[in-house]
Amino acid sequence: MTEEEYRNYIDRYVAERRDEIIGTLLDLLRIPSVGSEGSGGAPFGPEVERALRFVTDKASTFGLDVKNVDGYAVHSETGSGSEVAMALTHVDVVPAGSGWTRNPLGEVADGKVFGRGAQDNKGPTVACLYALKALKESGIPLRRRVRHVVGGNEESGFRCVRHYFEVEPLPKYGFSPDACFPLVYAEKGTMNVRVRALLGKETRAGVEKCRILCLLEEISGGEAANMVPDRARAVLRMSPGAEREQGLVLQRLKEGATKVAEVIGGPGPLAFEFSQEPGRIIIRASGKACHASVPWEGTNAVAAVLHLVASLGPTVQNHAAIRFMANAADIYGRGLDIQCEDDITGKLSCNLGVAGTEELGDVADSAAESTPRERGPERGAREVRPDPHSTGRGSSPGSGSSSGGEGSYGQGGGLRRIWGIYNIRYPVQVSGDLLKSKVLAVQRPEGVEVEVVGLGKPHYTDPNSFLVQTLLRIYREESGDQSPPITIGGGTYAKVIPGGVAYGPVRPGRLETAHQPDEHILIGDLLFLVKVYSRALLALANG
C-alpha cells in the first residue's frame, strides 16, 4: 500500500467509525481522572488508574499489544523492529472548576464534544488509539514499531513518563499531541516559586506611624498552579478597638476595586463582592480562567484580591508583605525582578496560580518547617500542579529557599502565614539557574520567604529536522494550511524526548479551551486528528 493509498484508506476508515470514535471519547470523559494521593499500582489515585485501565482495555480489544508500567503510564503498539515511532498523550486532567454550561463529564452538542479533557488530552488520546487501530487493520508493513504511550501525571509533574522511560527505551521519533498545529518546536522552561509571608504580627520593617485598622485573616483561591484562578476569597478582621471603623474600611475597599481592575488588566471581567459580619469583611473576586502559559488571556482573581487588600496601605497589618505578594503576580515577572525575553519564545510569563493561609505553631515547630529539603529529579513539567488541598506547610521538595529578615518566624502563638505558588515560564535562551538565583535574591520585606520548588529546562528541536519536516508535510496535506511551526510557553511530553515536538491538537483559528469551563473539541477536528496521527506514525515508522 502506497502512502497515497493509505491516505484514501484512512479517510474511509474514519468516516465509517465516526460514531464509535465519539462514543469512546465520551466513555473516557466520564472518568473524572484528576490526580490524587496514590498507592501501589495506582500512584496517581484511583480515577487516573481507572482511566489508564480504560485505555489498555480498549487497546486490547483493538488487537494491539499493551503494557502497564507500574501504574505510571501504559502503552499500546503494533508492528515490529528495534526502533520505535511514538505518540505520547495523557489521561489525567485538571479539576473541572466552575462556570460550565455543559456536562464536564462528557456531552455532545453543536457539533462538539464537551468535557474536562476533551482537548487536553483525552481527545488526542482516543485519536491515537484509533490511529494505531487503523494501522494494524490495514496490514501495511512497518519498519519500526508504532507505540502510543499514555501517562497519568502530565498535569502535575511528569513523574509518569520519567518513570516510564526508566523502564522503556526512548523512541527514534516522537511527538506529543498536547499543544497546537501546525507544530511546536520550542517550549519555554518552567519554574515554580513559593512565597510565604508572616501575618498577625508586624515586624520591625513593617511598622508604620499609622493606626492599624484590620488584618488579613484568610485568603484562598486557585486550584492548580498551571491555571489562572477565576475565583478568590479573603477575610479581613478588624483590629481590637477598631470595630467602629469597619464601615470606613469597607468603603475604601469599594473605592479601590476600580483601580485594581486597571492594575490587573486582562480581558476581564473582574468583579468583587463584599459582605460583612461583626468584626469581619469578606471579599470575593471573580475573574477569567485560562492556561498559566498565557496569563494575559485571563484575569487573575487571587492577584486582584491581594492588590485590593494592599490598597488599604498601612492601615492593614503586614501591608508591605501583602503588597510584595501582589506585585509578584505581575504577568511578566517584574515583581520578582526576572522580566526577560528572547527572539525564539518571547517574554517570560508569571502566574499566581494558588494561594492560601496556614496557622503557625510554636517557635521550634515553625523554624523546623521553614528548613528546605532537597528534592529528587527536577520537575521539567508542563505546569506543575500542587495539591490544591495543601496548606503549603513546610518546605516542598525544592531546589532552594531564602527568607527576608531575621526573627520572622520566632514570635510564636497564633501567628499565620499567607502563601502563594507562582508558575513561571522562561524563554529557551535564558538560563534557569540564573533566574533561580535572581528570584532568591529579590528585595522583599522582612518576614517574607521565597523558595524555588520546581525548575524545568526549556526544549528546542531543529525545525529543519526529518521529524519536523515530515509532520509539517502531513499536516499541510490534510489541512491545506501552510502556517509555519511555532513556539509556546506551555510544556508538553515533547520535553522528555530528545528531538521531540508537540503536534496538535488545536488547529489555527480554533478556541483553545484546555483548563477552561466548557472545554471541548469539534467533532470534525477529532476525526481530523485520527487521520493526521495515523499518517504521521506511518511516515515515521517507515521513514
**Among 59, 139, 137, 136, CA closest to 91:** 59
- CATH 3.40.630.10 location in the chain: 3-188+459-542
- Tell me the C-alpha distance between 199 and 192, whole Å: 23
What per-residue confidence (pLDDT) applies to 387?
Answer: 32
Q: Give the number of other CB atoms < 10 A from CB of residue 110.
A: 9
What per-residue confidence (pLDDT) applies to 385?
Answer: 30
- Tell me the C-alpha distance between 251 and 50, whole Å: 51
Arithmetic mean of pLDDT over the chain: 88
- Residue position matching grid coordinates 484511583: 46
Query: Cβ distance 287 to 298 under 8 Å?
Result: yes
> Could you tell me the pLDDT band of residue 388, with boundaries at 50, 70 and 90?
very low
Q: Give the number of other CB atoms < 10 A from CB of residue 386.
A: 23
What per-residue confidence (pLDDT) applies to 404?
Answer: 42
CATH 3.40.630.10 fits 3-188+459-542, yes or no: yes
Question: pLDDT tens, 520-535?
Answer: 999 999 999 999 999 9
| Residue 118 DSSP one-character state | T
Phi/psi for 401 (5° steps) reads -150, 160
Average pLDDT over residues 417-434: 96
Instruction: Answer yes or no: pTM beyond 0.85.
Output: no
**Among 468, 472, 466, CA closest to 543:** 466
- Tell me the C-alpha distance between 204 and 512, whole Å: 48
What per-residue confidence (pLDDT) applies to 361?
Answer: 58
Question: pLDDT tens, 121-157?
Answer: 999 999 999 999 999 999 999 999 999 999 999 988 8
Q: Pseudo-torsion of CA 164, 350, 333, 398, nearest 10°?
A: -40
Question: pLDDT tens, 301-347?
Answer: 999 999 999 999 999 999 999 999 999 999 999 999 999 999 999 99
Instruction: State percent of the chain over pLDDT 70.
Output: 88
pLDDT at residue 373 greater than cutoff 90: no
HEC string for 355-382 = EEEEECCCHHHHHHHCCCCECCCCCCCC
Which residue did the predictor score with more confidence, 385 or 346?
346
Q: Going by DSSP bridges, is the β-strand pair 84-90/145-151 parallel, antiparallel, or unpaired? A: parallel
Cell matching residue 338: 526576572
Please list, in sequence order, all residues whose beta carbon lies within 8 angstroms of the beta carbon of residue 346, skipping any fewer than 6 positions away.
Answer: 427, 487, 489
